[in-house]
Amino acid sequence: MMRIIDTHSHLYGNEFADDLKNVVERARQQQVEKIFLPNINESTVEAMLSLCSRWPGFFYPMLGLHPTDVKDDYPAVLDRMQRRLVGPHPFIAIGEVGLDYYWDRSFYKEQQEALIRQVEWAVSCGLPLMLHTRSAHREMMNLLSPYKEKGITGVFHSFGGSVDEAEDLLSFDGFMLGINGVLTFKKSELSETLRHIPLDRVVVETDAPYLSPVPFRGKRNESSYIYYTLLKLADVYKESIETVAEVTRANALRVFTKVR
């Protein structure tokens, strides 16, 4: 019996409106024990929280403004979001937040300002960060370096970089690399890179509905497909799938300390 944690899945999205119950059922059948839900923007908070009340102890919410949703109005959006962190709240992490300069650099500065504000939330609330970085490795390192001494923790989600980049990121002691279906892609060099990364710094995720692993590549992703990422991870680390599931679960629980 495995206990798998999917540390990053957007199952509250419209993509799952028609068959969410079946998606949850298939995840449980595939021995997914818990699913962590990163938030995107203000409009996704209520849908995310309703999943968490419908399946308590299975879904866990995060709070944050995704970098591609940072626009001119971001200060007011963050003001409103921040009110949800006052007093007792259900959020297990700040996320997903980060920098994304892949398609659009027009909010270059705003993305950094929004991220700094949300990293400050993580510090003051004692919560881990779910970080998204795309075409922004250097900027991310520069932005986070003042927080190294403040003991920030979290996940660098959807990691797909080089060995050098992995070493930069893992110089932050309390962080894990989030590995998803990209690992199973034929042309991915990630399995080579991972040979230089100890398994105790890795967590698994789906990023559903995106980035389905082979053999579902290009289709809607869901949490049960995390099995294929774990299968490949077991091959990379020359361990059983049970071992990689258990180690990555323990790693996730070391970061997400509110989850029990």
Residues near Zn ion (CB under 5 A) are 207
Cβ proximity to Zn ion, 8 vs 232, nearer residue: 8
Cβ proximity to Zn ion, 208 vs 237, nearer residue: 208
Which residue in 50, 28, 26 sits closest to 37, CA to CA?
Answer: 50
Q: State the nearest-atom distance from the C-beta of 181 to Zn ion, in Å.
A: 12
Q: How far is the C-alpha of 83 from the C-alpha of 237, rounded, in Å?
A: 43
Cβ proximity to Zn ion, 48 vs 237, nearer residue: 48
Q: How far is the C-alpha of 160 from the C-alpha of 182, rounded, in Å?
A: 8
* Cα four-point dihedral sign 89, 86, 154, 257: negative
Q: State the nearest-atom distance from the C-beta of 160 to Zn ion, in Å.
A: 13
Q: How far is the C-alpha of 64 from the C-alpha of 82, rounded, in Å?
A: 9
Cβ proximity to Zn ion, 12 vs 237, nearer residue: 12
Element (H, E) at 121: helix 108-125
Three-class DSSP category at 149 = helix
Q: State the nearest-atom distance from the C-beta of 161 to Zn ion, in Å.
A: 17
Cβ proximity to Zn ion, 100 vs 207, nearer residue: 207
Cβ proximity to Zn ion, 11 vs 190, nearer residue: 11
Three-class DSSP category at 129 = strand
Cβ proximity to Zn ion, 38 vs 166, nearer residue: 38
Q: State the nearest-atom distance from the C-beta of 190 to Zn ion, in Å.
A: 17
Bond before 96 cis per omega within 30 degrees: yes
Q: Which amino acid is at 1?
A: M
Q: How far is the C-alpha of 156 from the C-alpha of 160, rounded, in Å?
A: 10
Q: State the nearest-atom distance from the C-beta of 157 to Zn ion, in Å.
A: 6
Contact 66, 97 (CB under 8 A): yes
Q: How far is the C-alpha of 163 from the C-alpha of 194, rounded, in Å?
A: 8
Q: State the nearest-atom distance from the C-beta of 207 to Zn ion, in Å.
A: 5
Tokens of 82: 């921040």
Q: State the nearest-atom distance from the C-beta of 131 to Zn ion, in Å.
A: 11
